[in-house]
């Protein structure tokens, strides 16, 4: 056979078959793959889990417990930076949590079919990320045992919280978002735990039976579920935007140089997407490389698509950053200009430069290339650097910007103390929760994958084939 005997039509088709939506397998087979990936656990998993549990115990129970008993003095916060790494972590974890909603809501509304295999993995990040954000907020409170006073409950002294305060807006917004995204995680999960229920025995079957609520897949059940998911997908998008905007307003409504920036609202939302989508890429790389059969569901095409998103969001972030910077540099008052100089040329100026390199330079230099985008380990590194860059960004905005205020006699540098082991504790807890979830929750929404595969086909058009998507929803 000569080299030219291979017709162009076939190789195109082969290329298309690389895509998950155009490479269907029988649902039963996919179900078995997902169940097996959930139940096949190597000894290495237990070693890592045990280590993480130990870190969480020492850090979040031991050190945090000690800090509650002794006082916040164990942390490095002091005048003038009364907010430090705890708030940086809070903003960081809320940012990570936005990725889940972006992928499961915005991409669903935009009918981006590549989202199908990893919506649940992203939504789990949202729930677990918000848990860490909540912990970080509690860590930063001076009298955390009275935190319930922020909850508006009727009492005989008629005390109510202060809704003028951005922290109360935070309370409402973050709780709304936490509840909404947990509900939005659970609704599409019901058909998958039904499948897991049908394929389990023993304690797993009891667990999934309870979670499945008696779901069968009748027309009525599907209509109610799909209507609800449609409402959720649309409604949770403004909630998502409002949450990080409100977090941004914690800073923007304050009377501090560098903080009174009107662009903080959208700037923070874009920053959240930046770190969140990068974190999703990291999580998907780990899932794909450590869990059985995931190479079928999560393919280079998904990293390619996520990489394009990361590039666009990085450009958007750079736009908002420059907007904020330019306006302060040009027309800012004396203290704002001193602050900008402190950012770049102060003792922690290297953080500012690394932030720009990790958030802007590296994505712009690498993510335009399809080969780089489709390489999982490269995406992991780029995602990790972006997340470090975004953590630096929040570090600059919070403790470093708080160093400069309008009373120069009070200026002083912030040096973290107990914040460091406690931050490591939240990271360990996040990974631990995720690892436990990977054993209990089917990570891939198989019914959504099958739904998508049913809608996709290869259609012959003239001399070639083209992928077609039917509107079966």
Segment 160 to 179, residues that bind other proteins, using CB under 8 A:
160-169, 171-173, 175-176, 179
User: Residue 338: is the preceding peptide bond cis (ω within 30°)?
Assistant: no
Kindly report the number of other CB atoms within 10 A of residue 227's CB atom. Answer: 10
Smallest gap, in angstroms, from Cβ of residue 427 to other proteins?
23
**Coil vs helix vs strand at 468:** strand
Footprint on residues 44-83 left by other proteins (CB under 8 A) = 70-73, 77-80, 82-83
Interface pattern 391-430 for other proteins (x via CB under 8 A): -----------x--xxx-xx-x--x---------------
Among 194, 314, 328, 375, binds other proteins (CB under 8 A): 194
Q: What are phi and psi of 424, to 5 degrees?
A: -60, -35
Residue 153 sits in the site that holds other proteins (CB under 8 A): no
Residue 3 engages other proteins in binding (rule: CB under 8 A): no
**Residue 144 binds to other proteins (criterion: CB under 8 A):** yes
Is residue 255 within the footprint of other proteins (CB under 8 A)?
yes
Q: How far is the CB of 150 from other proteins (least distance, A)?
A: 5
Q: Where are the alpha helices (DSSP H) in 58-163?
A: 64-70, 85-101, 107-109, 119-140
User: What minimum distance in Å lies between the beta carbon of 217 and other proteins?
Assistant: 5
Among 6, 17, 111, 216, binds other proteins (CB under 8 A): 216
Q: Could you tell me how many residues make up the chain? A: 473
Cβ-based nearer residue to other proteins, 50 or 412: 412
List, as one string, the DSSP characters of 397-409.
Answer: IIIIHHH--S-GG
Minimum distance of other proteins from residue 338's CB (angstroms): 15
Site string for other proteins, 257-286 (x = CB under 8 A): ------------------------------
Q: Of residues 46, 51, 66, 222, which one binds other proteins by CB under 8 A?
A: 222
Contact status, residue 25 vs residue 383, Cβ threshold 8 Å:
no
CB of 264: closest distance to other proteins in angstroms?
Answer: 15
CB 434 within 8 Å of CB 97 = no
From 123-131, 245-253, 265-273, 428-436, span contacting other proteins (CB under 8 A):
245-253
Query: Which of the residues 79 through 138 are near other proteins (CB under 8 A)?
Result: 79-80, 82-83
By beta-carbon proximity to other proteins, the closer residue of 80 and 349 is 80
CA dihedral 160, 164, 168, 173 (to 10 degrees): 130
CA-to-CA distance for 265 and 166, rounded, in angstroms?
Answer: 13
Tell me how many residues contact other proteins (CB under 8 A). 99
Nearest distance, CB of residue 237 and other proteins, angstroms: 10
Minimal distance, residue 417 CB to other proteins, in Å: 10
Q: How many CB atoms lie within 10 A of CB 463?
A: 9
Among 214, 347, 369, 377, binds other proteins (CB under 8 A): 214
Between 50 and 71, name the residue whose CB sits nearer to other proteins: 71
Count the neighbouring beta carbons within 10 Å of the beta carbon of residue 91: 27
Phi and psi angles of residue 184, each rounded to the nearest 5 degrees, phi first:
-75, -25
Structure tokens at 412: 């002083």
CA–CA separation, 254 and 402 (whole Å): 11
Q: Which is nearer to other proteins, 332 or 376 (CB)?
A: 332
* Cβ(107)–Cβ(445) below 8 Å: no
Among residues 184 and 317, whose Cβ is nearest to other proteins? 184
Assess contact for 94 and 243: CB atoms under 8 A.
yes
Q: Scan residues 439-468 and list those touching other proteins (CB under 8 A).
A: 447, 450-451, 454
Compute the distance between CA of residue 369 and CA of residue 373 in angstroms, rounded to an integer.
Answer: 6
Looking at 123, 250, 304, 419, which residue binds other proteins (CB under 8 A)? 250
> Which of 204, 209, 292, 308 touches other proteins by CB under 8 A?
209
Burial degree of 108 (CB within 10 A; 0-12, 13-18, 19+): buried
Tell me the closest approach of the beta carbon of residue 63 to other proteins, in angstroms.
16
Crossing angle of helices 264-290 and 376-395, in 10° steps, is 150
The pair of structure tokens assigned to 459 is 């259609």
Residue 180, interface with other proteins (CB under 8 A)?
A: yes
d(C-alpha 462, C-alpha 12), whole Å: 13
Q: Considering only 12-20, 145-153, 269-277, 288-296, which stretch makes contact with other proteins by CB under 8 A?
A: 145-153
């Amino acid at each position: 056979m000569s080299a030219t005997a291979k017709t162009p039509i076939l190789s195109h088709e082969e290329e298309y078959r690389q895509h998950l939506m155009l490479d269907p397998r029988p649902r039963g087979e996919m179900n078995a793959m997902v169940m097996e990936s959930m139940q096949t656990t190597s000894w290495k998993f237990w070693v890592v889990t045990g280590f993480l549990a130990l870190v969480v115990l020492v850090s979040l129970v031991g050190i945090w417990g000690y800090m509650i008993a002794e006082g916040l003095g164990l942390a490095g916060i002091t005048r003038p930076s009364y907010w430090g790494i705890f708030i940086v972590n809070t903003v960081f974890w809320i940012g990570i949590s936005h990725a889940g909603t972006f992928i499961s809501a915005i991409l669903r509304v935009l009918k981006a079919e590549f989202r199908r295999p990893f919506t649940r993995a992203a939504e789990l990040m949202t729930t677990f990320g918000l848990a860490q954000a909540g912990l970080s907020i509690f860590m930063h409170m001076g009298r955390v045992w009275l935190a319930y006073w922020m909850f508006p409950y009727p009492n005989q002294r008629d005390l109510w919280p202060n809704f003028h305060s951005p922290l109360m807006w935070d309370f409402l917004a973050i709780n709304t978002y936490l509840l909404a995204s947990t509900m939005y995680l659970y609704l599409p999960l019901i058909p998958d735990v039904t499948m897991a229920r049908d394929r389990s025995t023993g304690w797993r079957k009891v667990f999934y039976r309870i979670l499945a609520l008696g779901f069968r897949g009748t027309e009525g059940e599907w209509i109610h579920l799909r209507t609800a998911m449609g409402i959720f997908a649309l409604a949770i998008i403004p909630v998502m935007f409002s949450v990080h905007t409100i977090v941004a307003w914690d800073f923007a409504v304050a009377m501090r140089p560098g903080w009174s920036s009107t662009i903080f609202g959208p700037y923070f939302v874009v920053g959240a997407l930046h770190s969140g989508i990068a974190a999703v890429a990291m999580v998907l790389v780990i899932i794909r490389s450590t869990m059985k059969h995931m190479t079928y569901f999560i393919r280079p095409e998904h990293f390619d698509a996520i990489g394009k998103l990361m590039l666009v969001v990085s450009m958007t972030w750079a736009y908002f950053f420059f907007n904020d910077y330019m306006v302060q540099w040009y027309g800012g008052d004396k203290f704002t200009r001193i602050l900008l100089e402190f950012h770049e040329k102060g003792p922690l100026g290297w953080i500012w430069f690394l932030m720009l390199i990790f958030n802007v330079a590296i994505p712009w230099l690498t993510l335009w290339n399809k080969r780089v985008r489709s390489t999982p380990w490269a995406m992991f590194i780029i995602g990790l650097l972006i997340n470090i860059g975004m953590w630096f960004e929040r570090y600059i905005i919070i403790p470093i910007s708080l160093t400069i205020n309008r009373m120069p006699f009070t200026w002083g540098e912030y040096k973290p103390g107990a914040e460091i082991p406690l931050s490591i504790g939240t990271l360990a807890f996040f990974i631990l929760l995720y690892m436990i979830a990977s054993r209990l929750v089917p990570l891939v929404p198989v019914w959504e994958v099958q739904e998508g595969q049913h809608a996709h086909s290869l259609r012959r058009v003239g001399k070639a084939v083209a992928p077609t998507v039917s509107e079966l929803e």
